[in-house]
Amino acid sequence: MTKQHDTQAGKSLAAAPLTQVRIDGGFWGKLMAVNRRNTLPIQYQRCKGTGRIDAFKVDWKPGQPNQPHIFWDSDVGKWIEAVGLSLATHPDANLERCADGVIDLIAKAQQPDGYLNTHYIVTDLKARWTNLRDAHELYCAGHMAEGAVAYFQATGKRKFLDVMCRYMDHIATVFGTRPGQKRGYCGHEEIELALVKLFHATGNAKYLRLAEYFVGERGAQPHYFDLEAQRRGEDPARHACGFYAQYQAHKPLREQDEVVGHAVRAFYIYSAMADLARETGDEALRAACRRL
């Protein structure tokens, strides 16, 4: 393709609606049937048995077992997303009822200002947003948002979607370039692509702008992870990963030309960059995607 044709093709690409894509036979059809019959119910049982679902009761107290882990909310969000993807073409009343029950718990756990992270709600709410490098708060929010979008698209039910819109509205007040906002971004990318999906589901450009902010801020100097570590009284040089290329934060994303660091983090952010390039016409992001 010529560059002109390629650009036009990129703008015309759009994901097919979940309810209009169906695979019933062959290799993938068999695996998807196993997923519906066995995997999704077993995953629900595991999430329930390990405390991930009951964490949204936000009644854990120090000394009790199953302290909500910083990753747990993402696991529940991913399960709901998988349920939505399945329900889109294969309705299942029992599976939908299980998901609705989990969503009810999630909605009750949401804080008055929209914040929603079970680990910090029950351990130390004052410590929220103080360790973006390691604590995965925004990562969990992203997976929850993807779950909400998929469930809404599959069932038409807005409850989880509305919960996550409130959470993202809260996040939009905390992060940004205005006075009093944090100039941070997550150590584990994910929220960026989820915000684009939320924009598509709601039509609210606020979520697209927030995704643009997170992509644009990554790798800026002075390095936010250094600043927040210093505020915690820590040496920025002493942490598990040890180098900012691990987070694709060693320099601004539009300047990067080599795939480095943690693979999952990398391809979440590259996906978001491609989505934003398509939505906004950002040629610098498009060029960075091509180089990478």
- Which pLDDT belongs to residue 12? 64
Tell me how far CA of residue 266 lies from CA of 42, 76, 251, 260, 270, in angstroms: 30, 22, 13, 7, 6
- Per the prediction, the chain carries an average pLDDT of 94
Distance CA 284, CA 101 (A): 44
Strand partners, 175: 182
Angle ∠(222,227,232) on CA atoms, nearest 5? 175
Out of 14-28, 29-43, 123-137, 232-246, least confident range: 232-246
pLDDT tens digits for range 154-176: 999 999 999 999 999 999 999 99
CA 140 to chain centre: 6
DSSP string, 234-283: --TT-SSS-SGGGGT-SS-GGG--S--S-HHHHHHHHHHHHHHHHHH--H
For 15, which DSSP code? P
Report whether 100 contacts 93 (CB < 8 A): no
Dihedral sign of CA atoms 93, 97, 98, 103 in order: positive
List, for residues 44-55, the tens digit of each pLDDT value: 999 999 999 999
How far from 88 is each of 3, 149, 277, CA to CA, in Å? Answer: 36, 12, 28
Instruction: Kindly report the pTM of this predicted structure.
Output: 0.94
More confident residue, 266 or 5: 266
Residues 188-220 have pLDDT tens digits of: 999 999 999 999 999 999 999 999 999 999 999
Quote the pLDDT of residue 16. 87
Q: Which two tokens stand for residue 206?
A: 């606020």
Q: How far apart are CA 192 and CA 194, in angstroms?
A: 5
First to last CA, the chain: 19
